Amino acid sequence: MSRIEQIDPTSATGEAAELLAGVQSAMGMTPNFLRVLANSPAALRAFLGLHSLAGEGALEPATR
């Protein structure tokens, strides 16, 4: 079974490198699923935008 390549943040270029650097800076690590999304910088940008919007909401701890 083939696997989707994970982009190494240290060798990424262009927008993918910028986005992964922001993730590393914010989280102190780069989760594998975000390294996979970096194959398409547009997909990674969209996910990070959605994640940011979701973080602005207010949910009770039990709901989260």
Q: In whole angstroms, how far apart are CA 13 and each of 48, 49, 56?
A: 18, 20, 30
Domain residues of the chain, as ranges?
14-54
Q: Give the per-residue pLDDT at 1.
A: 63
> Which is nearest to 13 in space by CA: 43, 39, 51?
39
Question: What is the C-alpha separation between 55 and 18, in angstroms, rounded?
Answer: 21
- Dump pLDDT digits (tens) for 23-48: 999 999 999 999 999 999 999 999 99
What confidence tier does 16 reach under pLDDT thresholds 50, 70, 90? very high
